[in-house]
């Protein structure tokens, strides 16, 4: 128990360091005379929220969802659809996005969690693809081509998010709040039960816990948090399309979690940063960047199965 608390404290410190670095990023971008970096930073922060939400069920509940990008789509299309009706308030859009994601996650989880292993993965993938093709069929919102947003969301009736820097810091604040929420969940009785189910499902059933209820609740919470990331990504790009919720995007979220370190929360944030920075940097060097990204991922899994978090832990261990 003491060792577990020490690990959690270390992960919080890592997250605080990351948040401090995120906070000074916009001034650095202006110092480099490249404000476009702020948009890239906002995208990274939004995906960090999605990766952290996925890690909540993958790392602590052993639920490998291969359709989790569907909830990004629910968030993004909540912005597009509500904006078309003149509802541009960010809070309202997030509430609607989370409600839609909660209903979809409840149905998806109630069916998927009756299976395990590869069957669970395939059912979540199937539901994700159903959501993808549903939004592809919405011709009123561009269908497969997507639709542009007339403006970014407002906040309490004010156009506060019109500037890239304001949107960046809003996304950062939401990331910090949601990290605190996820950390509280992991440390709570609910989180400990969820981790126990991951370790030994039969034993948890034997002592009186119902794994299905706990896993379904975690699945719904994760879907809701991911939809928040979708709302932010729609504002960052000012464009919404079904590509937000393709199965490729779900695979990218899993890669971010694995790259950062499964079951660490802060590792998922770091994994999102590493994955998207590598994408940008390798993309500037070669059009075949996916090949070299794949090589890097293979080497990371071979030499540090616990991701970047595990690699840092190994380095610190050698020095001490």
Full DSSP string of 59-85: HHH----S-THHHHHHHHHHHHHHHHT
pLDDT above 80: residue 253: yes
Instruction: Please give the pLDDT value at position 117.
Output: 86
pLDDT one-digit tens code per residue, 106-152: 999 999 999 988 999 999 999 999 999 999 998 888 888 889 998 89
pLDDT band, residue 320 (cuts 50/70/90): very low
- CA-based nearest residue to 225, from 93, 94, 121, 130: 94
pLDDT band, residue 284 (cuts 50/70/90): confident
Instruction: Please give the pLDDT value at position 300.
Output: 84
Instruction: Please give the pLDDT value at position 6.
Output: 58
pLDDT band, residue 315 (cuts 50/70/90): low
* Contact partners, residue 108, CB within 8 Å, separation at least 6: 67, 123, 124, 127, 219, 223
For residue 13, count other CB atoms closer than 10 A to its CB. Answer: 11
pLDDT above 80: residue 313: no
CA-to-CA separations, 283 to 237, 275, 293, in angstroms, rounded: 19, 12, 10
Percent of the chain surpassing pLDDT 90: 60
pLDDT one-digit tens code per residue, 197-206: 998 888 898 8
**Residue 64 burial (CB < 10 Å; 0-12/13-18/19+)?**
middle
Helix 164-187 vs helix 189-199: crossing angle, to nearest 10: 70
For residue 251, count other CB atoms closer than 10 A to its CB. Answer: 14
Domain boundaries, the chain: 2-244
pLDDT band, residue 62 (cuts 50/70/90): confident
- Give the pTM: 0.93
Distance in angstroms (rounded) separating the CA atoms of residues 149 and 237: 9
Arithmetic mean of pLDDT, 279-299: 86
Structure-token match 């939809």, residue found: 227
pLDDT above 50: residue 102: yes
Handedness of CA 318, 199, 65, 16 (dihedral sign): negative
- CA-based nearest residue to 104, from 79, 130, 85, 136: 130
What's the CATH code, domain 2-244?
Answer: 1.10.3470
pLDDT one-digit tens code per residue, 15-42: 888 999 999 999 999 888 888 899 999 9
Instruction: Please give the pLDDT value at position 139.
Output: 87
pLDDT band, residue 319 (cuts 50/70/90): very low
């Amino acid at each position: 128990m003491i060792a577990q608390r020490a690990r959690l404290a270390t992960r919080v410190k890592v997250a605080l360091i990351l948040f401090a670095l995120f906070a000074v990023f916009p001034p650095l971008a202006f110092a480099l005379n490249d404000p476009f970096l702020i948009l890239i930073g906002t995208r990274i922060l939004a995906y960090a929220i999605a990766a952290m939400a996925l890690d909540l069920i993958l790392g602590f509940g052993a639920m490998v969802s291969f359709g989790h990008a569907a909830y990004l789509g629910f968030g993004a299309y909540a912005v597009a659809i509500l904006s078309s009706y003149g509802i541009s308030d960010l809070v309202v859009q997030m509430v609607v996005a989370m409600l839609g994601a909660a209903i979809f996650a409840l149905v998806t989880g109630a069916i998927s969690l009756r299976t395990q292993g590869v069957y669970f993965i395939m059912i979540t993938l199937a539901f994700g693809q159903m959501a993808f093709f549903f939004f592809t069929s919405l011709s009123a919102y561009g269908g497969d081509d997507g639709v542009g947003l007339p403006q970014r969301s407002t906040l309490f009736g004010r156009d506060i998010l019109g500037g890239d820097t304001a949107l960046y810091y809003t996304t950062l604040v939401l990331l910090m709040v949601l990290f605190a929420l996820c950390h509280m969940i992991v440390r709570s009785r609910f989180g400990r039960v969820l981790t126990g189910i991951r370790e030994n499902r039969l034993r948890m059933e034997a002592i009186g816990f119902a794994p299905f209820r706990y896993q379904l609740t975690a699945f719904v919470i994760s879907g809701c948090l991911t939809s928040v990331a979708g709302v932010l990504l729609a504002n960052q790009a000012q464009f919404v399309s079904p590509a937000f919720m393709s199965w490729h995007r779900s695979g990218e979220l899993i890669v971010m979690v694995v790259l950062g370190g499964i079951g660490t929360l802060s590792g998922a944030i770091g994994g999102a940063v590493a994955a998207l920075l590598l994408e940008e940097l390798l993309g500037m060097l070669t059009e075949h960047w996916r090949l070299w990204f794949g090589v890097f991922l293979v080497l990371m899994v071979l030499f540090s199965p616990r991701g970047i978090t595990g690699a840092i832990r190994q380095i610190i261990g050698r020095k001490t």
